[in-house]
Amino acid sequence: MMSKKKLTIPQMKAMKKAGKRFVMSTAYDYPSALLIEKTDIEMILVGDSLGMTMLGYDSTVPVTMEDMVHHIKPVVKGAPNCFVVGDLPFGSYNISVEDAVRNSVKLMKDAGADAVKLEGGETVAETVRVLVRAGIPVMAHIGLTPQMISQLGGFKVQGRDAMSARKIVEDAQALEEAGAFGIVLECVPAPIAKMITEKLTIPTIGIGAGAGCDGQVLVFHDMLGLFEKFLPKFAKQYANLGPTIVEALSSYSEEVRTGCFPDEEHSFSMSLEEVEKIFKNS
Query: Which residue in the shown chain puts its C-beta closest to ligand KIV?
Result: 47
Q: Is 207 in the site for ligand KIV (CB under 6 A)?
A: yes
> For ligand KIV, which residue of 26, 92, 158, 197 counts as binding (CB under 6 A)?
26
Q: Is 48 in the site for ligand KIV (CB under 6 A)?
A: yes
107, 147 contact by CB (below 8 A): no
Q: Which residues are catalytic?
A: 186
Tell me whether residue 16 or residue 141 sits nearer to ligand KIV (CB atom).
141
Contacts of 93 (CB under 8 A, 6+ apart): 99, 100, 103, 104, 118, 124, 127
Tell me whether residue 45 or residue 200 sits nearer to ligand KIV (CB atom).
45
Contacts with ligand KIV, 164-203, as mask; x by CB under 6 A: --------------------x-x-----------------
Stretch that binds ligand KIV, among 9-17, 45-53, 88-96, 98-106 (CB under 6 A): 45-53
**How many amino acids of this chain bind ligand KIV (CB under 6 A)?**
12
Tell me whether residue 48 or residue 114 sits nearer to ligand KIV (CB atom).
48
Work out the number of other CB atoms within 10 angstroms of the CB of residue 236.
10
Question: How far out from the chain centre does Cα 176 lie?
Answer: 21
Identify which of 149, 145, 102 has the alpha carbon closest to the alpha carbon of residue 124.
Answer: 145
Contacts of 181 (CB under 8 A, 6+ apart): 9, 12, 13, 115, 137, 138, 139, 202, 203
Residues 263-282 that bind ligand KIV (CB under 6 A): none
Instruction: Please give the C-alpha separations between residue 206 and each of 25, 71, 273, in angstroms, as whole numbers.
Output: 11, 23, 67
Q: Is 42 in the site for ligand KIV (CB under 6 A)?
A: no
Q: Counting beta carbons within 10 angstroms of the beta carbon of residue 209, is it exposed (0 to 12), middle (13 to 18) or buried (19 or more)?
A: buried
128, 175 contact by CB (below 8 A): yes
> For ligand KIV, which residue of 12, 217, 223, 224 counts as binding (CB under 6 A)?
217
Residues that bind ligand KIV (CB under 6 A): 26, 45, 47-49, 87, 141, 184, 186, 207, 217, 219
